[in-house]
Chain A
């Protein structure tokens, strides 16, 4: 009897079924996790309508005209007092912070905690003096060595905010000079203007100069900042020297290029959610502007590479947000950002540090007390 050898074919199907099942099991749920959206930072590139309205509301101050031989000068336009006192030039910079907006932003609470967690007594002392910085301060301006605080000082007992009771001297149309002695025997002078503006310069002359400029009527040279620059939560003008110091702390070559080529930078920061920085850098010679642009771009790129090589991914991601725009006329724009989550984490670490310091100090005091006891 002849036998025929039949090839068994069904094992192929069994293998196929087993493999299909295995493949299905393996890929079930194998989904790449949704990628967190790339950090988007709002850049304050121009004045918003809200900021325009805010600026217009602040333009309330019209100095009394000085009659020159009985002839009235043309009426001055209403000014924002902070902008009215800005000098035409600065050595280091003039920066205005919209404190109220910052403290009432999403991260305002954490910022306050970061400032005062280490010394809650300081905040309590301010509030006892009828001055709650959270509700009463509107803006703070740093003009070289001078500090200007705007807000509502009407209910505040300013005397209690100072180390000793000051002597009050009327100054100009609405100002007052508060004089109080220093430890070295000299006198400190703080200017209070219309219960809405506190001014303290490097010395008395500087304080007086700021108040004088504020109350000057008629045409004056444009200040280093004016109403059209008031956008973002922090804005200001920084000198080339200051910019070189800021950018070239660890890079002398970059600092030298900044000093040689930059005239200064006008900057705007938005901190409403993330921190977005836009800086317009003015160059001395547009023909050499590219040298400065490339030096800045190169510094950013190298910093990113260093951060990545060191495994500091957060920092590398931040530096990826930075860019240097093209030269337009005699200036170019620099943009950089800090995402909200990064900032929040940094502030939380700051609060923790402050809290730890306070607890450490309290413990030391307790030990001192116990040691000094019976």
Chain B
């Protein structure tokens, strides 16, 4: 386990030197700072009595904090889920291909590290990186609004953590793909494709209903079965963030389904890695 963690930490160090991730954390910081300095909220006993953005009147109506922030959290959670998944699929696409680069992989394999440790260490490093980015953004916004409103809610953090689970499934596909084709482009494309397929899988039945009955419909239904329900997961994450009611059992099944899917893909990657000669 120590080896797995060491590899994950090495990957995080490597990421900290990359412009992509510096840019990501810089952008989140800028947005939070911008909001922190420009957003003025007039709060009275849990009601927002007015808001100004960059000194201009943004809203003059008095509404409850819940009513004002619900749509904001909902949209932030959706944007974070899809935008974050898309960005990270591209930004993390070359970690695995670089790991397998000629020269480097031989060096790594000469160290007292098992192949599966290398695989899981890389996976753990990338998903930790994604978790840090997600937590930074969600925690930053939570603290910002908490300070400005005097009301603290962990809901955005909870929603963000559910959203992060979706990226875990995407990266499992990306990492596995790299062991078949050592290409950042292919890895990133498959990550985005999995995101799209995960959305389609969430609407499997409604889509199948509009298809003509026959083998095409049956094939579509069967093909969509293994994919994680990413759109459903995004909806659950957004509802959790916006303090809307969710079904705990459904949420558990969606989250567990994503983790199990990730584990299945990593098993395929491990099988491929074990039999590959370098």
> Which of A's residues lie within 8 Å of B, judged by CB?
7, 9-10, 12-13, 15-17, 19-20, 22-24, 26-28, 30-33, 35, 290, 293-294, 296-298, 300-302, 304-305, 319-327
Contacts and interface: CB of A to CB of B under 8 A. Distances in A.
A197 to B, nearest CB: 40
Interface string B210-232: 00000000000000011011001
Contacts of A28: 225
A128 B264 CA distance: 79
A116 to B, nearest CB: 38
A27 B256 CA distance: 8
B14 interface: no
Contact of A320 (B64, B254, B256, B271): B64
B268 interface: yes
A311 B126 CA distance: 41
Interface in B249-278: 250-251, 253-254, 256-258, 260-261, 263-265, 267-268, 270-271, 274-275
Looking at B50, B64, B236, B274, the one whose CB has the most chain A CB atoms below 10 A away is B64
A93 B132 CA distance: 60
A127 B265 CA distance: 77
B271 A293 contact: no
Interface stretch (B2-10, B23-31, B41-49): B41-49
A320 B229 CA distance: 31
A302 B46 contact: yes
B106 interface: no
A294 B250 contact: no
Nearest to A13: B271
A22 B263 CA distance: 11
B60 interface: yes
The 7 A-B pairs at the shortest CB distance, nearest first, are namely: A326-B60, A297-B62, A12-B271, A27-B257, A301-B47, A19-B264, A23-B260
Nearest to A17: B264
Nearest to B267: A16
Interface of B is mostly: helix
B16 interface: no
14 contacts: A13-B267, A23-B256, A24-B257, A27-B228, A27-B229, A30-B250, A32-B235, A32-B236, A33-B247, A300-B62, A301-B45, A323-B62, A325-B62, A326-B50
A301 B64 contact: yes
Contacts of B251: 32
Contact of A16 (B225, B236, B239, B271): B271
Contact of B268 (A12, A32, A305): A12
B232 A320 contact: no
Contacts of B260: 19-20, 22-23, 26
Contacts of B226: 20, 23-24
A26 B253 contact: yes
A30 B254 contact: yes
Interface of B: 44-47, 49-50, 60-67, 202, 225-226, 228-229, 232, 235-236, 239, 244, 246-247, 250-251, 253-254, 256-258, 260-261, 263-265, 267-268, 270-271, 274-275
Contact of A301 (B50, B65, B257): B65
A304 B250 CA distance: 28
A15 B46 CA distance: 52
Contacts of A324: 61-63
Nearest to A334: B62
B254 to A, nearest CB: 5
Contact of B261 (A17, A20, A319): A20
A16 B64 CA distance: 49
B193 to A, nearest CB: 17
B67 to A, nearest CB: 5
A15 B61 contact: no
B264 to A, nearest CB: 4
Nearest to A326: B60
A22 B46 CA distance: 45
A297 B232 CA distance: 36
A93 B202 CA distance: 56
Nearest to A14: B267
A318 B46 CA distance: 16
Contacts of A293: 49, 62
Contacts of B244: 35
Contacts of B235: 32
B255 to A, nearest CB: 10
A19 B271 CA distance: 14
A35 B232 CA distance: 12
Given A7-B274, A12-B267, A31-B202, 14 more contacts: A12-B271, A12-B274, A16-B264, A16-B265, A24-B257, A31-B229, A32-B235, A32-B250, A32-B251, A294-B62, A297-B49, A300-B47, A301-B64, A304-B46
